[in-house]
Structure 1
Amino acid sequence: MPIPADGGPYAVATRKAMLRLLPLLCLAYFMSYVDRTNIALAKTHLQADVGISVAAFGLGAGLFFLTYALFEVPSNLIMYRVGPRRWIARIALSWGAVTALMMFISNDITFYIGRMALGAAEAGLYPAMMFMMTQWFAQKDRATAVGFIYLAPTLGLLLGGPLGGALMELDSLGGFHGWQWMFLIEGLITMAIGLVVLAFLPEVPADARWLSAQEAAALSEQANEGAAEAHRGHSLKGNMGQAFGRPFILLIGVIYFLNQVTMNGVTFNVPSIIESLDVSGSFLVGLLSGVTGIGGTVGVLVMPALFRRVPRESLTIGVLAAVPAAIAAVFLAVPSPAVRIVLIGLMSAIIFGTLPIFWSVAMARMSGIVAAAGLAFINTVGLTGGFVGPYLFGLAESDSGDPSSGFFIVIIASLLGGALAVPLHRALRHADRSTAADAPPRILERDPEVQP
């Protein structure tokens, strides 16, 4: 992911923003993934200490995404009024407080309430960061900026497991269980990051002390270029129809939903799967669980680069959607623990590596308010997959007694996603043809798949 080299006020300012703005956003996003996924490390301990069944755990893990999706749009509307700096800080402070309070989980009901409160508190974080991208970067640099931000969740999975596992080793200290210490300490860290965001995150380029007036003006000008044209000539009703009614948006949303069913189903159950492979010790389990983060990081870095070389949109999405089914089938057939762990990492690389391609395909055909509404719609559909995945995995394990039985869910969801690539191909061609008369020829040249 190249950072623009020096060569003018905008290039210099963009380089500074990527080096100084994005790390702060990534830090907040990193802790959001640590706080939402490290519940997986406490799964067996919650069962032993509190009596939470595997089915109840799956439901509670998924409830996070239900309230997250429910409150995401209202949260983003408030963010637009108060500004992203204060709102991102508020989100971090509130979800950090909820995480810390989850140390008092005592039964199924308090577990459900904690997970739902966490989802509501964290809602709006990702779209708020995406809103900042539109204020700081030109369209040509937004994909690179978003790619850097996507490193946060993969690193969260990579480093969050060992961090949580180490905190779990504090078991019995002060009369608290290890999972209680994990929730408390991670929650306090997140609240501290919220205060850092409030103190140091510049809201717009003009607020950044590390930019000259000329650099800040260049960033704002390039970021806002074309915004007026994007809104011109469309009624609110027409914009909403463009955002929600076009077939390719609906299809991308459904494929993304299936991707999230697989991603979150696997992520929230990796520690228990690894424990079932005769691995013992909270730190070692947490360390090996980081294989999802290793695979995800590799996928986010490698898959977009491969896509630029072979930019066949629907074919790429279809293949990447279906490959996890083959990996899951091999996983179920091979008894070797080492091979199974490697396969989990490979699956994570495919699942995470698909995400930048989803957004690239969608953003290429949307702008202005249509993009804001359409991308939010796709993200909301995907978040519901985050609810369904852990719940289905929990039901599968409850019925079979084997945490790995959820990989049958992976096979079904992945094959469905791959099959939807065929109608997606037709929908993308239709969308491009319908706008060809109004689009400059140079825009169409960027899309090799849909040349006449």
Structure 2
Amino acid sequence: MNNQTHLDSAVAKAARRLLPFLTVMLILAFLDRANIGFAKKAFQADTGLSDAAYAFGAGIFFIGYALFEVPSNIILHRVGARIWLARIMVSWGIISTAMMFAHTEYLFYTLRFLLGVCEAGFYPGALLYLTYWFPLKQRTRAIGLFYLGVPLSLVFGSPLSGWLLTHHDMFGLQNWQWMFLVQGGATILIGVVAFFYLIDRPADARWLTQPEREALTGAIASEERAKAHVISHSAFSVLKDVRVWLFIGIYFLLQVGTAPLTFYFPSLFAKIASGGEIGLLIGTLLALPWVCSVVATRYFTVLADRLDAHRRICMAMILCGTLALAMIGLTENPTVMLIAACIAVPGLTASQPVFWSLPTRYLSGIGAASGIAFIVSIGNLGAFLSPQTKNWVDAASGNEQSGFYVLALLCGGAVLLLWLTKSSVRGASPLATGGIRR
């Protein structure tokens, strides 16, 4: 067999071995940060938490996340993904479980902040990990398959959370406490398994043949040398690159639009459709937009790779998503609202793996480790700003839906920033400040 055949075989084996497990990890990561949106009504009723306190607690997760994202990814680059991703999962699983004790406002803030600290580094670390295993030509599809964990977390998590919230006084626990205990415990278990299951690099994979290891290692190394030849970054010099700031801005605005879909849409839809109770039926209906996102993620990542039109496809998806997000704020018909969510969720979530093909083909080495982490950490501050903005707009207007279309307007700015990245990311950026070197 020739080298290309060995390379194709190695990539196929890596996809079968690694992507399903990484997707399960991402399912739990997203569910553990978003499940507060399902528990909102019961949690506030039991604890007396105000809407402003809920908004701050929901958002403060992303402050802890942002502060520790970059150092976490640099550590992963140095010590390896197996140890570090397992450590991240176990620690955030412990904090997620501890949310069952969040009976006071300040304990709620503290645990949400610590949840962000402990989860910091998982998502950018997993993206970095994929660059070790998948050459550029196959990377967007790999990222897309991994990113299926985000919609799948709510495809499965919505009915699961709804079902768990129907259980009152089991073992003396309230329904929302039971939900945190079950979902956080599952994360701890998978984190322990990750320590034994993941492999750091292709060269260490005993499930690849020697020719496959050599072909895959050589292909990845060749791409890294090509990127470094065009433009090199040190850990912090990426922040001097204007293109990196455009990527940060795009991701920031995407999180502004995505946050209300996880933290506010479940309780809003339940209020309009069933008077506020989230049970198995409402939880199942809430899963439908995320089913659409699963389909869209797979379809558009493959299409973007085939057409090599990642930027244009991403722009179109975000534009559709922001228009649908605005519609959620403009209607009080539950059917129309659900249809709008079935467009908004895919538009603003399935566009993200398509977006990630741009920075990962531009950054290399330690610059990739820190650059991806900076994009995720600073960009995720949009998810902190989003609940605060929505709460302020809702209070000022006296309408709890008006925040949706204000956030949609902000999120639409990502389309403009994507347009500004229209020059090829394969070469030196005309927007970069002087071709930064180490």
Q: Map of 1:50-449 to 2, 5 A cutoff? A: 50-231=47-228, 240-241=236-237, 243-279=238-274, 280-307=277-304, 316-399=313-396, 402-421=399-418, 423-425=420-422
1:68 deviates by 0.6
Separation of aligned partners in 1, 2:266 and 2:232? 50
CA contact (8 A) 2:330 2:401 kept: no
**Superposition RMSD in Å:** 2.9
Separation of aligned partners in 1, 2:422 and 2:299? 23
- Change in CA separation of 1:359 and 1:421 when aligned onto 2, cut-off 3 Å: closer
1:371-411 Cα distance to aligned partner (Å, 9 max, x none): 33333322223211121112222333445564423212233
CA contact (8 A) 2:81 2:198 kept: no
3-state SS in 2 of match to 1:277: helix
- Change in CA separation of 1:316 and 1:139 when aligned onto 2, cut-off 3 Å: closer
- Change in CA separation of 1:395 and 1:23 when aligned onto 2, cut-off 3 Å: same
3-state SS in 2 of match to 1:278: helix
- Change in CA separation of 1:380 and 1:390 when aligned onto 2, cut-off 3 Å: same
1:5-51 Cα distance to aligned partner (Å, 9 max, x none): x9722222211110111111111111101111111111011110001
Separation of aligned partners in 1, 2:200 and 2:427? 39
Q: Which amino acid aligns with 2:267?
A: S
**Mean Cα deviation higher: 86-95 or 371-380:** 371-380
Separation of aligned partners in 1, 2:248 and 2:329? 29
1:431 deviates by 5.5
Separation of aligned partners in 1, 2:240 and 2:426? 16
1:298-356 Cα distance to aligned partner (Å, 9 max, x none): 33123334545765666554444333343244334443211111111111111112212
3-state SS in 1 of match to 2:168: coil
CA contact (8 A) 2:4 2:215 kept: no
- TM normalised by structure 2 equals 0.88
Establish whether residue 37 from structure 1 lines up as the match of residue 22 from structure 2.
Answer: no
Separation of aligned partners in 2, 1:56 and 1:256? 25
Separation of aligned partners in 1, 2:143 and 2:310? 19
Q: Which amino acid aligns with 2:273?
A: D
CA contact (8 A) 2:329 2:403 kept: no
**Mean Cα deviation higher: 374-383 or 66-75:** 374-383
Q: Which amino acid aligns with 1:60?
A: G
1:428 deviates by 7.3
1:260-283 Cα distance to aligned partner (Å, 9 max, x none): 101012221121111221323422
- Change in CA separation of 1:297 and 1:233 when aligned onto 2, cut-off 3 Å: closer
Q: Which residue of 2 aligns with 1:23?
A: 20
CA contact (8 A) 1:64 1:118 kept: yes
Separation of aligned partners in 1, 2:431 and 2:331? 48
Separation of aligned partners in 2, 1:351 and 1:182? 27
- Change in CA separation of 1:376 and 1:299 when aligned onto 2, cut-off 3 Å: same
1:139 deviates by 2.4
CA contact (8 A) 1:30 1:156 kept: yes
- Change in CA separation of 1:225 and 1:420 when aligned onto 2, cut-off 3 Å: closer
Q: How many pairs were matched up?
A: 429
CA contact (8 A) 2:362 2:425 kept: no
- Change in CA separation of 1:403 and 1:282 when aligned onto 2, cut-off 3 Å: farther
CA contact (8 A) 2:323 2:408 kept: yes
**Mean Cα deviation higher: 410-419 or 350-359:** 410-419
CA contact (8 A) 2:272 2:332 kept: no
- Change in CA separation of 1:429 and 1:413 when aligned onto 2, cut-off 3 Å: farther
Q: Which amino acid aligns with 1:330?
A: M
1:191-226 Cα distance to aligned partner (Å, 9 max, x none): 110111112222223443422233223322222224
- TM normalised by structure 1 equals 0.86
**Mean Cα deviation higher: 138-147 or 186-195:** 138-147
Separation of aligned partners in 2, 1:143 and 1:313? 9
**Mean Cα deviation higher: 244-253 or 258-267:** 244-253
Separation of aligned partners in 1, 2:222 and 2:94? 39
CA contact (8 A) 1:248 1:427 kept: no
Separation of aligned partners in 1, 2:392 and 2:91? 31
Separation of aligned partners in 1, 2:419 and 2:132? 36
3-state SS in 2 of match to 1:129: helix
Unaligned runs of 5+ in 2: none
CA contact (8 A) 1:272 1:403 kept: no
1:168 deviates by 1.5
Unaligned runs of 5+ in 1: 1-5, 439-452
